[in-house]
Structure 1
Amino acid sequence: MDTKKLKRLYKSYGFEELPVDNKDVLVFTLRNGHFHNADIVKVSDKVDVESTFQQLRKLNFACTVRNYSSLNEVEEVLFEGFFSAKETKQRLSREYEKHVNSIEDTLGVQGAYKYVEVAYTLNGEEGDSKLIDVITEKFESKRPTLILIEAAAGFGKTCTAFEVLNELLSSKSNKVPLFSELSRNRKAKIFRYVFLDEIDRSFPTLRSSLVQEKIKEGRVPVILDGFDELIHQSRSSDDDGYDAAEPMLDTIGELLEENSKVVLTTRRTAIFDGDAFHEWVFSHEDEFDVIRIRLKEPTISDWLTSEKIASLEKFNFPIAKLNNPVLLAYLRGLPEDEFEGVLELGDDIVKRYFYTLLEREQERQNLKLSVEEQLTIMRFVASDMVLSNYTSESKEYLEMLLSEKFARLLEKVMALYTSAERPSMDELITKITTHALLDRVGNSDNIGFINEFVLGNFVADVVIESDDSEWLGEQRFIEPAVMATVPRSVDRREMLWSSIRFALEFQAPADRVLFSQSLCGELRIDLTDDTLSAQTFRDLNLGKESKVKRFLFLDCIFQDCNFFKENFEEVTFVNCHFYGCSVADKHKAEKSNIELVNNHEDGIGFLDSLGTIQNLSKSSLAEDDKSLPKVEEFILSKFWPKGRPRAHKHRPTSILYSGGKFTPSEIHSGIDSLKAKEILSVPDKSNFLELNISKIAEIKELIGKESNYAS
């Protein structure tokens, strides 16, 4: 055995070597307060360590004799001992069980929890394997890897994170995960300090430097749920929040060495679609891999039996609106004989869901608050969250909040108990803070709503009831409110839409489109002077209730959409796909308002009726056209801007079409020309183009660069 490597291993765990006379023995000591430990390592099988053992005992060391057969065994023994691998895995298993139980408590059916696989994309491509298998397989790769899991509010991010954790715990892996729900940590806004705090919470007896070393080695995979919450806490007024996210990503980047694996879950946000983030990814592509997974909306057939789906159809239930996992889980857990009774309530099915939970809570906790009184309290908590901009707070804060606001109500409720069972005021408030709709996670004392659907439902109540015609809420509250309202009645969806309309003016175009599509089933917002890329539009009337001016749709998918082109002005579609679409006013407007470049249709005639199709084979930008070099120069300047010492290797396609100097068809022709010259190519990530650095001399000539390229 290599004794030098043996010594390095022990020292990495904080041991000190204690010199001894016997050359066939190595002694390593560790002092921790009153506890002095010594490992006596036999270098030779025949060595007698008794005298060394007794000498150390006299010095008050607790001694252990080690007889290792390999360095791997040394590492395993030290890792298992220091990280308390068995106990840590048991603790994490209890956290997983608590997560499952909390879900089943809200459903009211023990054993009802089941993780439902959802459709997803991986780096822009459709996923065709089980999601959890795909993620856990990445843990076996020999490259440091960041796995980013994105989804809308309440669409399975946390459940996916817990399932990845459970899979790691269930396997025979010798890894010990570090799992954290970041939204529950409010001790610091700076991610580096939050992360160190999570290390201390998970491994309180270990040095953070040791834990970080094992993270890099891949022995401690990291799963961080709710990354977007920290971004929100840290961001200021920058355009897309990247300035707030960058130091967090840099901290994570410092961990991505050797064989480390880090999983982040986050809501979809403009930060991760922005050019700055993509540049960060590509600038580190030689150092670590970045895997982006986007979870899609659930499909009802994944959750409900054919018999229950038939019942939904029988009652003409709006199945298309039934896309929330919480509600689908509730319906799945209902016995068949109760299912149709719930459907008879129609649009009040969500109301029935909450009433069932609250009535059960009265029985579970012997809680004398009526259902309406419980709802009033929960709405007030949601109102305070929106007003003070938080999603979880300490138990002490919520107790103070409730005691100040509801003292009279609680005193009245206390009088309803018999003298023998009457709780004190503090005990009654504790019943509320341990309510089934509220959640207390792990070792944290922070409390928030049990899931995004519950949060969104009460936020929607607060927003709709607000008298403020210019209510201006944060995206972190708007999105769950919208998603929780989608399964509700048309009237309620309209009320929420009217209430958030002003706030939407300050949201990203993709979010505005999503919220309009979700609540109204059509586009009711004007789209002006901007670009949307890689978006999917389903069953929408485009241009019926809004105007689209000087706008670019790039790499988008349109399914069963109806276009009112009289409200389109200077609109361009590039690389888009149209399935089952139609033009409502094909004879009313001139085609010149809409330009079509390299699009695809599933039938014949739709594109011709929608707008002017650019025939690129006969483009005005022929090879000998004098304007072609100017277009190419413009495109390449996006890769190598003036004043920058070196070029970007990758750029999102959308940024090449912005600027307005050339038409989209001219840009498209310029890109094709540069591809033909092998200056540009399409990398393995969709919606991007890659610069061929080996052609750097030709690139410099095209854009007139004089400085040397710095790799």
Structure 2
Amino acid sequence: MTEKLNLVDRLFESYNYKISKNSTKEVRIYTLQYGMYHAAEIISFDENTDVSIFKKELSDLGYATDIKIVKNIEEVEEYLFEGFFIKTPLGNELKNRYKNFVRKQLLNLPEKSHYKYIDSDFDFIMQNKLGEVTEAKSYSSKDKSIITKINELFTETKGALFIIIEAPAGFGKTCTANEILNSITVENSKKLPFFTELSRNREARVFKHILLNEIDDQFPNGIKQNVVLEQIYKGRIPLIIDGFDELITKDSNKKDVESMLSTIVDLLQNDAKIVITSRKTAILNSEEFIETINSSIEDFSLARFEIKEPTIENWLHSERMKFIEDNGFPINQISNPVLLSYLRNIPLEKLKEFLTSKESTLIDKYFDYLLTRERTRQNLKLDNQTQFRIFRKLNRFMSEYNFTAETKETIKDFIKDYNPKILQESLKKYKPEEKPSIEELTETLSNHVFLDRKSDGNVGFINDFIFGFLISENLILNKFQEHYKDNFTKIIPQDFAQKSIEASRIQSKENKIKLWTVYNNHNFGYDSEFYFDSDYLLMNKISRNYNQLFLSDRIIKDLKFEKYNFENCVFAGVTFENCIFSITSFQKSSFQNCKFYNCNLLNKTSIIYDDFGIYVCQDNNDFIKDINSLYSKDNDIDEVLDKKVLTEQQVLQQFLQVDIKRPKPRKFSVIKMRLNEYSDREINAVIDSLIRKEFLHFKDDVGFITREAMNYLNHNNN
């Protein structure tokens, strides 16, 4: 009984209660004071115990009293959690957060638009606490929603669960995170999700501090940080972290990344449920990630989702699609969700007007619509180009200091200090009776449609599309060059530059060429992946030689790989559609877990396997068969005499820990290094066989061993 009393006492004390000296072994009394409000909880372990005398005494002293008969410690925990979390305004704040998110999505759309979450296809891989892959599957959005699958995992997974949702920019990570939040209803689940949206804040660099500060900010002062953490461990507060990659920059060192991952892993105790969203980043396939996860995998299950590119059919009804196509608009060239959402909601008569106009591009029409409406909505006396000027300046400021959100006061100060002439000229256009002050005008501009208040209260651009578009505008108009002279190539972080390329996919051909020219005529110091993207997305052709290029998990369409060389390059999880390959352009390069659809060879000459290595790939024609027929005969393993044959068991054992008992994911490069006495072609042949048997599963260049493989190894070892 004493131990039980001590546990109950500690529980109440963790919520800032004090133990009343009138408590007995049969009845515990806990008091709590919030300013003028005094509360008392009378806890009895026996319903036959008379507690009326305690209640009268406390009521006479002015305490609001509650009596609770409990049978076990779990009841006490539930009682306190409901009282401090569920039955509070926090539940309504969650609903309001989602409503505000939806409202912001509609800000950029025509009146009477409706918000709808767009489901996409997704890949899914699940590892249990033993590190074994228990499911690896691609799901069609027609068969199952990613939200449904995640809620199934929340319900069915015993113990701690770590969910990673990856997708390139614009594929719906933030929408998915908010949809998960909305799907966890406080009333039905008795859970209170905690949602935080990260941004590149230059004052906060240590992830652990950011997370703890967010907890302090979002929960009432009376609730201690350790109480919230305890409820996270117990799964009552699922943690949703949107934009994990925002804190990862090109300059992030190994120690920073390991610290971020360790902070999350440390929270994965008991029944914790943690979801993070991130753009596709090599960090999540790195040795640091593998080691950090693998050292603690016994404490939690790991589920990884990868959202595939939404199709036009996901966004637009067939009737509207036909209407757009019949008017000769290249709808298949648009994958940007901001513009697709606009096309989805614009009235048909307005859409017809846009499609038949030859004066400007769709993107021009979109911005003209937004900024013209903003002038009416906020009574702004600033023409559209002047509005652009103000926010291009803000965009340059964010790039220079490498942040994506700041306090509203900082944003207002910037607008006021860097645009004095513009603001003064604007004030002259107002009627005397409606003329605002400079402070009121900067307040209005800080609420502009281009901007958004983030979950931490800071303000940044509403989405990556507008942020990236403004970067490209600044470069095309020579604004970075003008204001930063010879130093302008050092001002723009690579991930910011990447956003400019993504946003420019639907720019006019002329502006695409201009942006490509800026990036390729100056030394920005970005990695080869960036320059490949600039070639492909802006010019749709290869324009340079590439060395040590690593491309993963993307779709490449209608591209010719010729004229320029690819040396020491790796393509992992890439889908090639209607591409043409000159195999003589590749040296010491490999294709891992790739798909070749309707692809062809430009020349069919003899090649060395190491120059154009095909590992675990598939096609829909004879592309791979043709490649295999071209490999030099002196590389044929069947002709090598007196050599050990590589077995499936040997390969599978490379995916185990040192103790040969537990699985461990391995990068393909590590496997080749560990089996260096065998040729790459031999290794690939065995791995190909193991994948067909579902003993191995590859995500990009990382291989995972399945439960079936472990059973096979255990049986053969015995």
Q: How far apart in 2 are the matches of 1:453 and 1:109?
A: 21
Q: How far apart in 1 are the matches of 2:512 and 2:25?
A: 80
Kindly state the Cα deviation for residue 251 of structure 1 after the two structures are TM-superposed. Answer: 1.1
C-alpha contact (below 8 Å) 2:489/2:523 kept by paired residues: no
The aligned residue for residue 261 of structure 2 is 249
Alignment of 1:177 with 2:193, yes or no, is yes
SS at match of 2:380: coil
The aligned residue for residue 394 of structure 2 is 381
Q: Please show how residues 33-182 of structure 1 align to structure 2 within 5 Å.
A: 35-57=37-59, 61-68=63-70, 72-83=74-85, 85-123=87-125, 125-128=137-140, 129-140=144-155, 141-169=157-185, 172-182=188-198
TM-superposition CA deviations, 1:201-260 (whole Å, max 9, x none): 11122100000000010110111111111233xx7464xxx4322111111111101111
Moved more, 101-110 or 619-628: 619-628
SS at match of 1:146: strand
CA separation of 1:529 and 1:155: change in aligned 2, threshold 3 A = closer
The aligned residue for residue 682 of structure 1 is 696
TM-superposition CA deviations, 1:322-378 (whole Å, max 9, x none): 101110001111111111211224661111111111111111111111111111111
C-alpha contact (below 8 Å) 1:554/1:654 kept by paired residues: no
Q: Please show how residues 402-421 of structure 1 align to structure 2 within 5 Å.
A: 402-421=415-434
What is the TM-score normalised by the length of structure 1? 0.86
Q: How far apart in 2 are the matches of 1:646 and 1:143?
A: 22
C-alpha contact (below 8 Å) 2:577/2:599 kept by paired residues: yes
SS at match of 1:286: helix
Kindly state the Cα deviation for residue 44 of structure 1 after the two structures are TM-superposed. Answer: 3.0
CA separation of 1:443 and 1:670: change in aligned 2, threshold 3 A = closer
Aligned length: 684
The aligned residue for residue 568 of structure 1 is 586
Q: How far apart in 2 are the matches of 1:611 and 1:474?
A: 45
The aligned residue for residue 602 of structure 1 is 620
Moved more, 149-158 or 416-425: 149-158
Kindly state the Cα deviation for residue 292 of structure 1 after the two structures are TM-superposed. Answer: 1.7
SS at match of 1:412: helix
Kindly state the Cα deviation for residue 200 of structure 1 after the two structures are TM-superposed. Answer: 1.0
C-alpha contact (below 8 Å) 1:236/1:244 kept by paired residues: no
CA separation of 1:357 and 1:46: change in aligned 2, threshold 3 A = same
Q: Please show how residues 274-313 of structure 1 align to structure 2 within 5 Å.
A: 274-313=286-325
C-alpha contact (below 8 Å) 1:562/1:583 kept by paired residues: yes
2:465 alignment partner, one of 450, 453, 465: 453
The aligned residue for residue 213 of structure 1 is 230
The aligned residue for residue 483 of structure 1 is 502
Amino acid at match of 2:504: T
Kindly state the Cα deviation for residue 383 of structure 1 after the two structures are TM-superposed. Answer: 1.4
C-alpha contact (below 8 Å) 1:583/1:606 kept by paired residues: no
Amino acid at match of 1:481: S
2:666 alignment partner, one of 641, 644, 651: 651
Q: How far apart in 2 are the matches of 1:658 and 1:311?
A: 55
Kindly state the Cα deviation for residue 132 of structure 1 after the two structures are TM-superposed. Answer: 1.0
Q: How far apart in 2 are the matches of 1:657 and 1:22?
A: 69
Q: How far apart in 1 are the matches of 2:260 and 2:547?
A: 33
SS at match of 1:420: helix
CA separation of 1:132 and 1:48: change in aligned 2, threshold 3 A = same
The aligned residue for residue 707 of structure 1 is none
TM-superposition CA deviations, 1:506-539 (whole Å, max 9, x none): 4455554444332222333433245545554322
CA separation of 1:414 and 1:672: change in aligned 2, threshold 3 A = closer
CA separation of 1:351 and 1:50: change in aligned 2, threshold 3 A = same
Amino acid at match of 1:203: F
What is the TM-score normalised by the length of structure 2? 0.85
CA separation of 1:399 and 1:9: change in aligned 2, threshold 3 A = closer
Alignment of 1:226 with 2:240, yes or no, is no
Q: How far apart in 1 are the matches of 2:28 and 2:705?
A: 55
Amino acid at match of 1:649: K
Aligned residues with identical type, % of pairs: 30
Alignment of 1:668 with 2:670, yes or no, is no
TM-superposition CA deviations, 1:112-165 (whole Å, max 9, x none): 211111122123641242011112222222221111112222321111111111
Moved more, 99-108 or 9-18: 9-18
Gaps of 5+ in 2: 126-135
Kindly state the Cα deviation for residue 500 of structure 1 after the two structures are TM-superposed. Answer: 2.4
SS at match of 1:204: coil
Moved more, 471-480 or 594-603: 594-603
Kindly state the Cα deviation for residue 597 of structure 1 after the two structures are TM-superposed. Answer: 4.3
Q: How far apart in 2 are the matches of 1:665 and 1:394?
A: 56
The aligned residue for residue 205 of structure 2 is 189
The aligned residue for residue 362 of structure 1 is 375
Kindly state the Cα deviation for residue 382 of structure 1 after the two structures are TM-superposed. Answer: 1.0
By relative contact order (CA 8 Å, sep 6+), the higher-ranking structure is 2
The aligned residue for residue 439 of structure 1 is 452
CA separation of 1:575 and 1:30: change in aligned 2, threshold 3 A = closer
The aligned residue for residue 132 of structure 2 is none
CA separation of 1:571 and 1:181: change in aligned 2, threshold 3 A = closer
CA separation of 1:180 and 1:566: change in aligned 2, threshold 3 A = same
C-alpha contact (below 8 Å) 2:606/2:632 kept by paired residues: no
CA separation of 1:341 and 1:654: change in aligned 2, threshold 3 A = farther
The aligned residue for residue 700 of structure 1 is none
CA separation of 1:95 and 1:550: change in aligned 2, threshold 3 A = closer
Amino acid at match of 1:421: E
C-alpha contact (below 8 Å) 2:560/2:581 kept by paired residues: yes
C-alpha contact (below 8 Å) 1:541/1:561 kept by paired residues: yes
Q: How far apart in 1 are the matches of 2:639 and 2:267?
A: 48
